Structure 1
């Protein structure tokens, strides 16, 4: 039986649940959940343990020489419920006389953690877990049975499931004027997290509400609420298959007190100032929250066959980006520089606009170009703060970087999935993800994809060198007539493309092509400035 190395045992003693993502040699992805329970106490009491109790239980586990994963109650099962695809990361764990079951938060379907069987008649896949000592070092390691349908599976994500979150900082003294009146950039949310009138009922409705929320604090709070509700079953419908789904805005609004400028007008020389650098990063993270919600709201209705795992991945990404924004905002407060007190730019959203009609293009440009570029530059940014002796900011940036690797991984996963769907539609004719990606970049990007590259983290995320070596975008500026014809209608009332547009696209033979907008030269220039800096 083929086995997959998960982790040294001591690396999974910090939490009780882990998101576990595997990738095979054939670029297939498999999402799993690892549960680590206690051999001596009910899982229902875990959350009430203090730090000393947890430390003692960890010591007990480390000193347990049984070598049996079941004795230590470590289980691995599918990440989604086989009923309707609900995420199982927040499943309730219940103990019976002779078994332990995970209970789906959506419809209370229960699954035995050892056998995968449910009293409902459904069954999920579970995987045998073993703890084995490394023959050279003696280190205890966790291994699992390999899934079928792939070769040479490897772990590309092992991340604890946690509800811990960096809350936005309280209003600081520095945000008050001399007479004690709050300055404009100190404005906090005045609306309730859940609107009193017509509250959202589906994930799509929450996505559009959050996209239309200009206040960054409220955007974060609503993201936290919506993702938690989706994970725990308070929201049980994605809502992307309804006849008239809510329509996302062409560009998410920002607070009126924020000064939005072209990227080139934010002087690069000033970025040596730590507060300016952190403010620029916080701005990117606020747009990143919107990008995560937009890919669900915009493309969910266009691709009704997207599985629940797609929405689980990108809602998790939205929560991560909210965490990143909050962490950076807290650091800005420490520098007496409230978020919004410096100019911001919207160039990252220009790439979203340029890819607003093609999910393949969006995944390629936003997640496999822009976010992958972040993997390249983040270590250099971290090094600058280390040299400045700013340990707190270094800690924040290291958290962000680790999360961003998983975001590029998610982009790669769903890009490959889209290629697989296209291959099925073509009757099995091979669709190579590398070739498709390079073609998307050629059509939807302008200029070179420049190094130096973080080869290690790119490879960890699924991007081998064949994806990006000698890669160049050849997107040209359209003439005025073509530009006008392809302009996105910002007042559209429907997420569907009109029959007239469909006929035009079919004549062009490019149904998945990029969308050009007014001000295309400025948009492309802004995108390039953001990428290169």
Structure 2
């Protein structure tokens, strides 16, 4: 089995259960997969990624937010996080099939991410069902996939602006969400906060993978990582993180002190001697 073609096949799947199951199965087969590293990506199908009819997809500003203080509000919140994890499966699969001429380790790294994102989605979906809901019950938005489409032509931009920018925002937001859940004292909220412990721990590794391959690609292209990141962030209007930053998690994911200062204080020019 060749990994990149198979990743595209799974990416095209619209059935949620099938996509999750086949992603997990592909991850278990990592050691035995061949990888067409140097081959150009297969022709891109229409309407990527494959997605179910539900949830209804709305503009980011049109998606309602609810307080986690109520069971209904917690269901909406967990559905939103589950949708992010479902998108993250697609993002990892897309990173595998789309970009050629990368080392075998790159493809296996993103296969690991895809498998873990599928497991995260399953954990959240199972918990959502205990609240009397399922994935698809509430509207959602496609912010992550929109940036994926914008960076489809450029692996450096993809690594810069999806894992180490958009997904890194989850490192900042998760502890705040956990705190609100635990403050309710409700058993289901405490269970949800514990699930987020697992997700946060593994998401640090995912962002670290994005950081690693961004730097690797910059070195190969003889680009200054800091200067080029600032250029990409401006070109694609990438959102800046909302304070407070989870500096401990970001350090573990490979962000430097110079970058953390630049992210926190946008008017501070990062040192060229301290690469991202």
Contact 2:85 2:120 (8 Å CA) reproduced: yes
Per-residue CA deviations over 1:79-138 (Å, capped at 9, x if unaligned) read xxxxxxxxxxxxxxxxxxxxxxxxxxxxxxxxxxxxxxxxxxxxxxxxxxxxxxxxxxxx
C-alpha separation between the residues in 2 aligned to 1:289 and 1:244? Answer: 19
TM-score normalized with structure 2 length: 0.87
Measured after TM superposition, the shift of residue 459 of structure 1 is 1.2
- 2:128 touches 2:135 (CA, 8 Å); kept in 1? yes
Q: Distance in 2 between matches of 1:403 and 1:397?
A: 10
Q: Look up the match of 2:113.
A: 317
Q: Does 1:442 align with 2:234?
A: yes
Deviation string, structure 1 residues 48-67 (Cα, Å, up to 9, x no partner): xxxxxxxxxxxxxxxxxxxx
Q: Deviations over 1:299-325 (max 9, x none)?
A: 13xxx1x11110111000000100100
* Structure 2 CA distance for aligned equivalents of residues 360 and 229 of structure 1: 27
Equivalence for 2:215: 416
Give the whole-Å Cα distance in 1 for the aligned partners of 2:40 and 2:172: 42
The answer to whether structure 1 residue 261 and structure 2 residue 53 are counterparts is no
What is the aligned partner in structure 2 of residue 218 from structure 1?
Answer: 18
Matched, 1:367 2:163: yes
Can you give the 5+ residue segments of structure 2 that lack an aligned partner in the other structure? 268-276
- What is aligned with 1:202? 2
Specify the SS of the correspondent of 2:161: helix
Q: 1:358 aligns with which of 154, 165, 171?
A: 154
Distance 1:244 1:408 in 2: 24
- How far did residue 405 of structure 1 move? 0.5
Of the candidates 3, 22, 28, which is equivalent to residue 228 of structure 1?
28
Work out the CA distance in 2 between the residues paired with 1:404 and 1:257.
25
Q: Distance in 2 between matches of 1:436 and 1:347?
A: 23
Per residue, is there more strand in 1 or in 2? 1
Query: Equivalents in 2 of 1:360, 1:451: separation in Å?
Result: 26
Q: Does 1:398 align with 2:197?
A: yes
Distance 1:205-1:454 versus aligned 2 partners, 3 A rule: same
Q: For the pair shown, which has the larger CA radius of gyration, 1 or 2?
A: 1
Does 254-263 or 442-451 show the bigger shift? Answer: 442-451
- Larger RCO of the pair (alpha carbons < 8 Å, separation 6+): 2
What 5-or-longer segments of structure 1 have no aligned partner? 1-200, 424-430, 473-533
Q: Contact 1:332 / 1:339 at 8 angstroms: preserved in 2? A: yes
Q: How far, CA to CA, are the matches of 1:275 and 1:356 in structure 2?
A: 33
Instruction: Give 1:380's match in structure 2, choosing from 166, 170, 176.
Output: 176
Measured after TM superposition, the shift of residue 436 of structure 1 is: 2.1
Distance 1:249 1:295 in 2: 17
TM normalised by structure 1 equals: 0.46
Residues 249 and 412 of structure 1: CA distance in aligned 2, closer, same or farther (over 3 Å): farther
| Residues paired across the two proteins, number | 258
Comparing both structures, which one devotes a greater share of its residues to helix? Answer: 2
1:457 Cα deviation (Å)? 1.1
The structure-2 alpha-carbon separation of the partners of 1:397 and 1:439, relative to structure 1 and needing over 3 Å to count, comes to same
2:242 and 2:60 mapped to 1: Cα distance? 19
